Chains A and B, each alone.
Chain A
Amino acid sequence: MKKISRRLFVEGTGAGIVAVAIPLEGQAQSAPAAPTTASNAPKTTIKLTINGQQRSMEVEDRWTLVEVLRDHLQLTGTKIGCDRGECGACTVLVNGKAVYSCSQLAVWMDGRTVQTIEGLAQGTKLDPLQTAFIEHDAPQCGYCTSGQLMAAKALLNSNPKPTREEVRAGMTGNLCRCSNYNHYVEAVMAAAGTLKSGGAA
């Protein structure tokens, strides 16, 4: 049986659509002959810009972007909620565009610019989105918040004055199980200056 690596899997399918068909791990009975260990995993050196800082680093080819951010760069503000492209908790900006960092391989980031939640504020000066998120109580548990903020940032980059419907559509790839969607939308509209007075738009 041909071994399916993490890289082939991510490249071949992208996301969680096939997840239903993946058997629980216990069904994988045929053992690969030569398991890939930390020491013999293929590696590639990449150059990228993260939160304004240029970096060169060696990454294992199977590492995802979120894995590099969290495990190797200590940028743990980006969260993992599903690790299969369903929830948006890991949303970061790559060249200004919102992507699920669990569904991007680190090697693909060569030559790209990545912005995470840690790079959203300018020093101690919060982004208007962050201020609005505080004032409108957008985070409940807060676990999806970094992803919501980055998705909102990407939305406002391309559409600075969105309507309520445009905010909902622009952020619908970011799940919030606390279901604080009303306050998230209010906060984004407040940051964009399109929230009508009196709370809900």
Chain B
Amino acid sequence: MNPLNSVGHREPRVDALLRVTGKAEYTGDVKLPGMLYARLLRSPHPHARIKSIDISKAQALPGVRAILTKDNCDTVWSSGDSLGQRKLFNNPLRFTGEAVAAIAAVNRHVAEEAMSLIQVDYEVLPFVLDVDKAMEEGAPEIHPGGNLSPNNQRRREPQTYTRGNAAKGFTEADRVFESSFTSSHHNNAQLELRTSLAYWEGSKLTVYASTQGIVNCQRDIAKDLKLQEADVRVICHYMGGGFGNKNQSHDFDLFAALLAKEAKAPVKVEFTRKEDFVAVHGRWSSKQQYKIGVKNDGTLTAIQMVAKTGSGAYRKSSCDLSGTEIYQVPNLETSTTPIYTNTAVAANYRAPAYPQGVFGIESAIDDVAYALKIDPLEFRLKNMTRKFRDQTPYTSFGLEDCLRKGADSFGWKQRWKPVAGSGAGPLKRGAGMAMGMFGSALGRSSAVAKVDAKGNYSIHVGVTDCGTAAKTTMGLIAAEELGVPLNKVNVVWGDTDTCPYSVGESGSRTTVQTGDAVIQAVKDLKKKISEQGMPKGTDEVMVMVTTNPAQIQGASRQSFVAHFAEVEVNVETGNVKVTKFTAAHDSGRVVNPLTAESQVQGGSIQGIGMALHEELRYDQRSGQPLNAGYYGARIMTHMDAPQVDVLWVETEDPYGPFGAKTLGEPTIIPTVAAVANAIYNAIGVRMHDLPMTRERVLAALQGVKA
């Protein structure tokens, strides 16, 4: 791969100084004159009908300026569900924590006092928390029409994929294996609390949001408040993480706008950490069943997956499962059925459909490899995908190198035990691995490029930089194309008044899609300069481009990844410690190896948390969330986090900015499965349920003894 001048070098972030001095202004830091603070009153019941709400005492409290409830607000929050029907205030209430009233007051203490003065008369309804029970005859109906959640075409049917004929594939197999796996709802849990600040100037609305996509947020707010997009300005200069749950407008953006209108003053809505866990969303849970047909030599003949996923009380995202696509198999059938329950809503969290699906298929495949006495690494090298859906070639393909070079770097031969569970104990070590892939499609985005008379360049992009270093990435791409150092490029971002459309930081698309727009903008700018010369005095030369490349015909563009984990399992306590972790990634050319390393290490460590301890639990009798918060949900800490060794497998890809492919989401895709397979190698017992807590590891070990 030919080296470049700016791209491919370890560059600190362009905004790092502001981030380490406390000067980066996050949404919650913005304060406007006369600003009011808002709080939400929420349902204490998992399923209830509001008979009446009495706000009179709250209204009478000095300092209360506006109260919204279902009685005076029927605004639809269209990105709140895939049908575009979810309202800000719903009746019946379908999960513990659903919004009942929003209150704006002169300070947060008064708003909190006012909350306790609102009297709600609830008719408590029967509820259901489990996807299987929700599909039983006579189960409480969460939405009219039943608990099988309709897709965005309003059809109540599973999401399916078929190639070949699985039944035929199983008859051709020497052996057929069946197994099942479950995963839990767990939360994105970004550090920044949910907040939004809105104010009106006549019919013009400005929202300081915390969003991964300022333009998407602007579009959604305009739609739901029936405004022109040009009349809605969304600003987000710094935001404290999102991991997929901030790419549309949120109900708090709408609450802020509506309360501000009612109170005729700027309103800041703030959610508590508990509200973030129960009332926004997390990754959907799953129950997965696999049937795998294989020849004695390890050739796959058929894979069938039948799954249910838990969408929670509303269907906000696909609730699909991925994973089986990483295998070459002539006969494949998958079916995923999203189901409503009276629990927190599930939606996008970093590679939304992947880590739990890959946990299932990669655990099932691991069992097959052991049963056939084939090294799981060799089994994967034999059966890994070579063409997308066994049909379409890849634009570049680094999966085999991720497996081979990753295994070498990790020391697979030395660490993996041919006989699972063969260590002496009580501390048993074992190694496991898993692989994955993630689409890296081209797509529409825009960019503005400018130069002034002094030769200072500016790039305007509609990104917010949720922590991925997107601003720096855009700056590096522009610098490379301009042939100037990074410090000559000023990146302007995070404000719909000054920045054009960007896809939003979801689907790991910014580097590729907005990066392509930046390259084109710079090319056009250079052309314009060559035609009319550099600007003079206070003039600028400026271009704006929108790139919308045609989708690649006859080839599929994907990023690939293989993760390798070594664990130490204490068979007396059930504790699992990750002792070595290697992440091998093919994301094409790596634009900034320093910040990309942060992405891989962070995604992997998040995945280890998902594997070992994170879940949102509910009391089965009351429907109350039990552990909504950092401490209870056991997210990863400094002490939990192992060193993650990052290995780049840089393939040359003909598309994307300088051949860069997707990175952010692949970093978590195979992590959970690699840890699960390492636990199996250590203890010789298969873990079927996420998270693999100490209690579950001990129970699994005792199951063997019994």
Decide if A and B are genuine partners. yes
- A175, B635: Cβ atoms closer than 8 Å: yes
Selected contact of B42 from candidates A26, A74, A78, A89, CB within 8 Å:
A26
Q: Is B467 in contact with chain A by the CB < 8 A criterion?
A: yes
Separation of A16 and B273 alpha carbons in the complex (Å): 11
Selected contact of B637 from candidates A19, A89, A172, CB within 8 Å:
A172
Smallest CB separation, B452 vs chain A (Å)? 26
- A130, B115: Cβ atoms closer than 8 Å: no
Q: Is B44 in contact with chain A by the CB < 8 A criterion?
A: yes
Q: Report A-chain residues with C-beta under 8 Å of the C-beta of B42.
A: 24-26
Q: Is B641 in contact with chain A by the CB < 8 A criterion?
A: yes
Chain A positions 3 through 36: 1 when the CB is less than 8 Å from some CB of chain B, otherwise 0: 0001000000000110110111111110110011
Smallest CB separation, B400 vs chain A (Å)? 27
Q: Which of B15-23, B323-331, B363-371 contacts A (4 or more CB under 8 A)?
A: B15-23
CB contact list, B175-205 vs A, under 8 A: 188-193
Q: Is B630 in contact with chain A by the CB < 8 A criterion?
A: yes
Q: Which of B354-362, B418-426, B594-602 contacts A (4 or more CB under 8 A)?
A: B594-602
- B22, A76: Cβ atoms closer than 8 Å: yes
Q: Is B643 in contact with chain A by the CB < 8 A criterion?
A: yes
Separation of A185 and B609 alpha carbons in the complex (Å): 18
Among A36, A135, A172, A181: residue with most chain B CB under 10 A? A181
Selected contact of B113 from candidates A16, A35, A39, A141, CB within 8 Å:
A35
Q: Report B-chain residues with C-beta under 8 Å of the C-beta of A167.
A: 638
Q: Report A-chain residues with C-beta under 8 Å of the C-beta of B66.
A: none
Q: Is A145 in contact with chain B by the CB < 8 A criterion?
A: yes
- B44, A23: Cβ atoms closer than 8 Å: yes
Smallest CB separation, A144 vs chain B (Å)? 5
Smallest CB separation, B607 vs chain A (Å)? 9
Closest to B631 in A: A86
Q: Report A-chain residues with C-beta under 8 Å of the C-beta of B193.
A: 80-83
- A137, B597: Cβ atoms closer than 8 Å: yes
Q: Which of A42-50, A103-111, A118-126 contacts B (4 or more CB under 8 A)?
A: A118-126
- B629, A79: Cβ atoms closer than 8 Å: no
Q: Is A97 in contact with chain B by the CB < 8 A criterion?
A: no
Chain B positions 43 through 68: 1 when the CB is less than 8 Å from some CB of chain A, otherwise 0: 11000000000000100011100000
Separation of A113 and B259 alpha carbons in the complex (Å): 39
- A32, B598: Cβ atoms closer than 8 Å: no
- A120, B21: Cβ atoms closer than 8 Å: yes
Separation of A62 and B44 alpha carbons in the complex (Å): 26
Smallest CB separation, B226 vs chain A (Å)? 30
Separation of A23 and B41 alpha carbons in the complex (Å): 12
Q: Which of B25-33, B129-137, B558-566 contacts A (4 or more CB under 8 A)?
A: B25-33
- A178, B598: Cβ atoms closer than 8 Å: yes
Q: Report B-chain residues with C-beta under 8 Å of the C-beta of A142.
A: 19, 24, 238, 240, 467
Separation of A74 and B541 alpha carbons in the complex (Å): 39
Q: Report B-chain residues with C-beta under 8 Å of the C-beta of A27.
A: 44
Q: Is B468 in contact with chain A by the CB < 8 A criterion?
A: yes
Q: Which of B102-110, B157-165, B290-298 contacts A (4 or more CB under 8 A)?
A: B102-110
Q: Is A133 in contact with chain B by the CB < 8 A criterion?
A: yes
Q: Is A161 in contact with chain B by the CB < 8 A criterion?
A: no
- B243, A177: Cβ atoms closer than 8 Å: yes
Selected contact of A38 from candidates B110, B189, B467, CB within 8 Å:
B110
Separation of A133 and B12 alpha carbons in the complex (Å): 9
Selected contact of B61 from candidates A23, A35, A172, CB within 8 Å:
A35
Q: Report B-chain residues with C-beta under 8 Å of the C-beta of A120.
A: 21
Closest to B21 in A: A121
- B116, A32: Cβ atoms closer than 8 Å: yes
- A38, B191: Cβ atoms closer than 8 Å: no
Smallest CB separation, B48 vs chain A (Å)? 10
- A182, B644: Cβ atoms closer than 8 Å: yes
Q: Is B605 in contact with chain A by the CB < 8 A criterion?
A: yes
Separation of A156 and B467 alpha carbons in the complex (Å): 27
Q: Report A-chain residues with C-beta under 8 Å of the C-beta of B112.
A: 25
Q: Is A57 in contact with chain B by the CB < 8 A criterion?
A: no
- A31, B57: Cβ atoms closer than 8 Å: yes
Smallest CB separation, A4 vs chain B (Å)? 11
Smallest CB separation, B489 vs chain A (Å)? 18
Among B62, B117, B599, B641: residue with most chain A CB under 10 A? B641
Given contacts A35-B61, A89-B191, contact A177 B117 (CB under 8 A): no
Separation of A125 and B514 alpha carbons in the complex (Å): 35
Given contacts A25-B41, A38-B109, A179-B605, contact A79 B240 (CB under 8 A): yes
Closest to B100 in A: A26
Separation of A118 and B29 alpha carbons in the complex (Å): 14
Q: Report B-chain residues with C-beta under 8 Å of the C-beta of A134.
A: 12-13, 16-17, 20
Q: Is B335 in contact with chain A by the CB < 8 A criterion?
A: no
Q: Is B241 in contact with chain A by the CB < 8 A criterion?
A: yes
Selected contact of B639 from candidates A32, A172, A184, CB within 8 Å:
A172
Closest to A182 in B: B601
Q: How many residues of chain A have a CB within 8 Å of chain B?
A: 79
Closest to B24 in A: A142
- B601, A180: Cβ atoms closer than 8 Å: yes
Selected contact of B638 from candidates A28, A31, A174, CB within 8 Å:
A174
- A38, B107: Cβ atoms closer than 8 Å: yes
Smallest CB separation, B306 vs chain A (Å)? 33
Q: Is A114 in contact with chain B by the CB < 8 A criterion?
A: no
Separation of A39 and B110 alpha carbons in the complex (Å): 10
Selected contact of A81 from candidates B22, B110, B192, B637, CB within 8 Å:
B192
Separation of A35 and B20 alpha carbons in the complex (Å): 40
Separation of A78 and B28 alpha carbons in the complex (Å): 11
Separation of A162 and B272 alpha carbons in the complex (Å): 35
Given contacts A24-B97, A41-B109, A177-B190, contact A78 B16 (CB under 8 A): no
Selected contact of B190 from candidates A26, A76, A143, CB within 8 Å:
A143
Q: Report B-chain residues with C-beta under 8 Å of the C-beta of A141.
A: 190-192, 238-241, 466-467
Separation of A64 and B112 alpha carbons in the complex (Å): 15
Separation of A84 and B277 alpha carbons in the complex (Å): 14
Q: Report A-chain residues with C-beta under 8 Å of the C-beta of B189.
A: 177
Q: Is A37 in contact with chain B by the CB < 8 A criterion?
A: yes
Q: Report A-chain residues with C-beta under 8 Å of the C-beta of B239.
A: 141
- A77, B21: Cβ atoms closer than 8 Å: yes
- B191, A35: Cβ atoms closer than 8 Å: no
- A137, B20: Cβ atoms closer than 8 Å: no
Chain B positions 485 through 500: 1 when the CB is less than 8 Å from some CB of chain A, otherwise 0: 0000000000000000
Smallest CB separation, A160 vs chain B (Å)? 19
Q: Report A-chain residues with C-beta under 8 Å of the C-beta of B107.
A: 38
Chain A positions 154 through 175: 1 when the CB is less than 8 Å from some CB of chain B, otherwise 0: 0000000000000111011111
Q: Is A56 in contact with chain B by the CB < 8 A criterion?
A: no
Smallest CB separation, A59 vs chain B (Å)? 13
- B643, A200: Cβ atoms closer than 8 Å: yes
CB contact list, B201-216 vs A, under 8 A: none
Q: Report B-chain residues with C-beta under 8 Å of the C-beta of A83.
A: 193, 272-273
Among B16, B273, B638: residue with most chain A CB under 10 A? B638
- A140, B241: Cβ atoms closer than 8 Å: yes
Q: Report A-chain residues with C-beta under 8 Å of the C-beta of B23.
A: 77
Smallest CB separation, A15 vs chain B (Å)? 8
Q: Report B-chain residues with C-beta under 8 Å of the C-beta of A84.
A: 273, 629
Given contacts A20-B627, A143-B191, contact A181 B62 (CB under 8 A): no
Q: Is B228 in contact with chain A by the CB < 8 A criterion?
A: no
Separation of A70 and B632 alpha carbons in the complex (Å): 27
Q: Report B-chain residues with C-beta under 8 Å of the C-beta of A89.
A: 191
Given contacts A26-B100, A29-B119, A141-B192, contact A82 B630 (CB under 8 A): yes
The 14 sampled A-B contact pairs (Cβ below 8 Å) are: A24-B97, A28-B116, A29-B119, A31-B57, A32-B116, A35-B113, A79-B26, A86-B630, A137-B469, A143-B241, A145-B20, A149-B20, A168-B638, A183-B597
List 15 additional contacts besides A82-B273, A83-B193, A142-B238; criterion CB under 8 Å. A25-B39, A37-B109, A38-B106, A81-B192, A81-B273, A137-B16, A141-B190, A176-B191, A177-B243, A178-B191, A179-B606, A179-B636, A181-B636, A182-B601, A200-B645
